[in-house]
Chain A
Amino acid sequence: MAEEAPTPSDPVATPSAPVTQLLQGVEQLNATLDLPEISERLLSIAMEHCGATRGVAALRHSTGFTQVAAVQGLNQVHPGDPFRPEVATSLGLPMILPIGDPLEPLGYLALGGYEGAREAGGSPEKDAPERPYLRVLLGIGASVVASALSHQESQRLNEKLNQRLQELRALLDFGRGLTSTLDVDEIVQLLALTLAGRWAIARYAVHTWRDGYEDVFRARGFTFAQVEALAGRFPDLAEAILLGEDGNLEWLRHLSVPPGSMLIPLLSNEQTIGLVLCGLRLRNQPYSQEDLEFGLTLASRAASAIENAWFFKEALSAREIERELALAAGIQQDLFPKKMPVPEGWDVAARNRQARQVGGDYFDGMPLRRDGGEKVLYVVSDVAGKGIGSALLMANIQATLRALLDHEPTLEAIAREANELLFDSTPSNRYATALLLLLDPHSGEADFVNCAHNNPLLLRADDAEEWLDAPGLALGMMKRSTQQQAHVSIGPGDILVIYTDGVSEAVNEKDEEYGLDRLRDTVRRLRHQSSKTIVDGIFEAIEYHVGDAPQHDDITLMVIKRNPDHPPGV
């Protein structure tokens, strides 16, 4: 149809020329929904029609901001520049026409260099014949622009919806991934990969820390030092932020972290347990408010999973400690003598029960090699405190006594030497009460040292009771040795009961102690039985007394009984 189109110079065709042009223009405008293209075409058609050499098409955005969408014949104006009708005249664009409703235009067409008008004197009236055509064109243009705008808006909404959908999918996928791991490294890796994929970022770093554990750090393109510096600068970060918005661009440049990167705290119970640094997106898209929110949501889920993983790890190591304790308990049990030395004419039994896996009570019986190899050292000791530390001190006491046994002339010397050695090798809050008894089984004569220990009960054959006391502080408590040796004769039928405070102080649910009277009565009741029966009988009596109350202390008991039918010196 182009060949039929009348030329503007044809006077006969003139009246119909604008109509044809208009129809062609409408056709062109309707062919696209692309706003820049529509603006371009609208401007071209209008300029061609008026013979203008300069022109600008500007569109108003939903924000109210009007921007140049197309420009012709002006070097100083570019698409994207802000446009204000007031200044258009100064750009040499005297004719300004609203697109659509003049009260609320969708934009403007501004035209100038409008030779026809200038040649004819440039009066506005001369423009008049062009105006109806332009008005119609702009009316049609307005509806095309409006539909393109709404198309653009629906595309934008669609895109936004797609993005939200992806966020939701990423969150769901992340949540599913978290369910299959209790490993902090794996959670950190999953968080990093999810963010990298969601935002198309090639540089990221995740750092999380916990007292007593090695830091977990995973990064691509960032270093530990960079993240550390950020952690120092934002110690109490409570939300995701864009770096550089606080204006400290120089500092960021120095750190080689690009402004616009996102920093997200890993928050668990309002405590910062880590940081996530996200570099710029590869498509140069800035992070939006939604992105900040998404980042914080994902990081929070990761933080609580990390917290759980730490708890799990702690529980695991608690179980490992438990295993090691069991091992220690086994070793400690081996330190107790398998068989007590029992001289002829005597009956000796001992037993220990610990409140925990490893305890601080100790008993022993060691025959001396010197003095004809007949004397025996009996020991009952109670180390202050419980647990591993006490068990170690107990092992220490045993080794010290065994080492000193044949090298010191008297029991007092053994006790004093042991005291000094223990004082030097342990902190002052570590000490042990002890009862050492060196027995000559032939004569029944015995030396003893009481290092602040419970006084042993000596129940004589005639039923009289004695409680063996001697001055002296606990072993390892003071450098100066205070232990003094005392003496006792054990006759036939006498029973010596050495015990720790776990025996006398065993309490029942009414908080009543088992006590020395009950101990003495029990021994009296069983006095004609074997030492082992007496030991077991006292344990039973304690258990009966205590009932369901928990055992707080280690219980150790040693019974040394001189047989009645074996008179001394025989």
Chain B
Amino acid sequence: MPDTFQILEEQQGEVALLRLHGYLDAHTAAEFESAIQRRVDQGCACIVVDCEKLSYISSAGLGVFMSFIEELREKEGDIRIGGLLPKVRQVFDILGFTEIFQLFDTADAAVTSFQLKEEGDATNV
């Protein structure tokens, strides 16, 4: 029996942090898409997805990541990923997602990467 899918949401400054638990597949992809869509609709452009507790991802789950990337990057934001387990990372690799998304060892590092950019922007002003 697959783990129940769960999304825990936090806001860290400008960054929306979504922590995924369990299986992200055809049954749960829609829920994940709505969660991100909600954040995007609220005007959030910087999103970090914590995959440390994500035990499985299917094509439909990866499709959610793809669905927002253009829109967020156009808004100078991004969707970044932290803490992929080796088995999940392998799927990212095979489907070429490692070349498209910025991956970090931990979600914290991904959140920090956004904050560094913000600080950089601030000092440039």
Q: Does B109 contact A (CB under 8 A)?
A: no
- Residue of B with least CB distance to A175: B26
Contact B100 A200 (CB under 8 A): yes
Contacts of B108 in A (CB 8 A): none
Nearest Cβ in chain A — how far from B99, in angstroms? 6
Nearest Cβ in chain A — how far from B14, in angstroms? 22
Contact B94 A162 (CB under 8 A): yes
Contacts of B94 in A (CB 8 A): 162-163, 166
Number of interface residues of A (CB under 8 A): 31
Mask: chain A, 240-254; 1 = CB below 8 Å from B; 0 = not? 000000000000000
Q: Does A194 contact B (CB under 8 A)?
A: yes
Choose the segment among B45-53, B59-67, B117-125 that binds chain A (4+ C-beta atoms closer than 8 Å): B59-67
A177–B25 CA distance with the chains assembled, in angstroms: 8
A166–B62 CA distance with the chains assembled, in angstroms: 12
Using known A-B contacts A170-B59, A189-B33, A203-B70, determine if residue A197 contacts B96 with beta carbons closer than 8 Å: no
Contact B27 A177 (CB under 8 A): yes
Contact A221 B33 (CB under 8 A): no
Contacts of B100 in A (CB 8 A): 200, 282-283
Which of B26, B69, B97, B99 meets A173, CB within 8 Å? B26
Contact B26 A197 (CB under 8 A): no
Q: Does A230 contact B (CB under 8 A)?
A: no
Using known A-B contacts A193-B33, A200-B97, A285-B96, determine if residue A173 contacts B58 with beta carbons closer than 8 Å: yes
Contact B66 A202 (CB under 8 A): yes
Contact B27 A176 (CB under 8 A): yes
Q: Does B95 contact A (CB under 8 A)?
A: yes
Q: Does B29 contact A (CB under 8 A)?
A: yes
Q: Does B30 contact A (CB under 8 A)?
A: yes
Contacts of A197 in B (CB 8 A): 58-66, 95
Contacts of A195 in B (CB 8 A): 59, 63
Mask: chain A, 402-432; 1 = CB below 8 Å from B; 0 = not? 0000000000000000000000000000000
Which of B25, B66, B71, B99 meets A196, CB within 8 Å? B66
Nearest Cβ in chain B — how far from A567, in angstroms? 84
Q: Which of A129-172 contact B (CB under 8 A)?
A: 162-163, 166, 169-170
Q: Does A388 contact B (CB under 8 A)?
A: no
A170–B62 CA distance with the chains assembled, in angstroms: 11
Nearest Cβ in chain A — how far from B55, in angstroms? 14
Mask: chain B, 1-39; 1 = CB below 8 Å from A; 0 = not? 000000000000000000000000111011001000000
A105–B48 CA distance with the chains assembled, in angstroms: 53
A221–B67 CA distance with the chains assembled, in angstroms: 9
Which of A194, A195, A285 has most chain B Cβ within 10 Å? A194
Using known A-B contacts A197-B61, A200-B66, determine if residue A176 contacts B97 with beta carbons closer than 8 Å: no
Contacts of B25 in A (CB 8 A): 173, 176-177
The DSSP consensus for interface residues of chain B is: helix
Which of B63, B70, B96 meets A192, CB within 8 Å? B63
A194–B61 CA distance with the chains assembled, in angstroms: 7
Using known A-B contacts A170-B58, A198-B95, determine if residue A193 contacts B63 with beta carbons closer than 8 Å: yes
Nearest Cβ in chain A — how far from B100, in angstroms? 5
A192–B60 CA distance with the chains assembled, in angstroms: 8
Contact A166 B27 (CB under 8 A): no
Number of interface residues of B (CB under 8 A): 26
A180–B29 CA distance with the chains assembled, in angstroms: 13
A32–B25 CA distance with the chains assembled, in angstroms: 40
Nearest Cβ in chain B — how far from A355, in angstroms? 47
Q: Does B88 contact A (CB under 8 A)?
A: no
Which of B95, B96, B99 has most chain A Cβ within 10 Å? B95
A170–B58 CA distance with the chains assembled, in angstroms: 6
Which of B67, B70, B71, B95 meets A193, CB within 8 Å? B67
A202–B71 CA distance with the chains assembled, in angstroms: 9
Q: Does B44 contact A (CB under 8 A)?
A: no
Using known A-B contacts A176-B25, A221-B70, A283-B99, determine if residue A198 contacts B33 with beta carbons closer than 8 Å: no
- Residue of A with least CB distance to B56: A173
Which of B27, B66, B95, B99 has most chain A Cβ within 10 Å? B66
- Residue of A with least CB distance to B61: A197
- Residue of B with least CB distance to A221: B70
Mask: chain A, 199-222; 1 = CB below 8 Å from B; 0 = not? 011110000000000000000110
Nearest Cβ in chain A — how far from B47, in angstroms? 15
Mask: chain B, 54-88; 1 = CB below 8 Å from A; 0 = not? 00001111111111011100000000000000000
Mask: chain A, 276-307; 1 = CB below 8 Å from B; 0 = not? 00000111010000000000000000000000
Contact B30 A186 (CB under 8 A): yes
A486–B94 CA distance with the chains assembled, in angstroms: 93
- Residue of A with least CB distance to B71: A220
A238–B111 CA distance with the chains assembled, in angstroms: 47
A201–B62 CA distance with the chains assembled, in angstroms: 10
A283–B66 CA distance with the chains assembled, in angstroms: 12
Contact B67 A194 (CB under 8 A): no
Contact A190 B29 (CB under 8 A): yes
Q: Does A362 contact B (CB under 8 A)?
A: no
Using known A-B contacts A221-B70, A282-B100, A285-B96, determine if residue A180 contacts B58 with beta carbons closer than 8 Å: no
Contacts of A186 in B (CB 8 A): 30
- Residue of B with least CB distance to A283: B96
Contact B60 A177 (CB under 8 A): yes
Contacts of B95 in A (CB 8 A): 166, 197-198, 200
- Residue of A with least CB distance to B91: A166
Contacts of B33 in A (CB 8 A): 189, 193
Provide a sorted-by-A list of 6 A–B residue pairs whose CB atoms are within 8 angstroms.
A174-B59, A193-B30, A193-B59, A196-B63, A202-B67, A283-B96
Q: List B residues at the A interface (Cβ < 8 Å).
A: 25-27, 29-30, 33, 58-67, 69-71, 91, 94-97, 99-100
Closest 6 A-B residue pairs measured CB to CB? A177-B26, A197-B62, A193-B63, A197-B63, A196-B63, A197-B59
A-B contact sample (19 more), CB < 8 A, given A177-B27, A197-B62, A282-B100: A170-B58, A174-B26, A177-B25, A177-B29, A178-B26, A180-B27, A189-B30, A190-B29, A192-B63, A193-B60, A195-B59, A197-B61, A197-B66, A198-B62, A200-B100, A221-B70, A283-B96, A283-B99, A283-B100
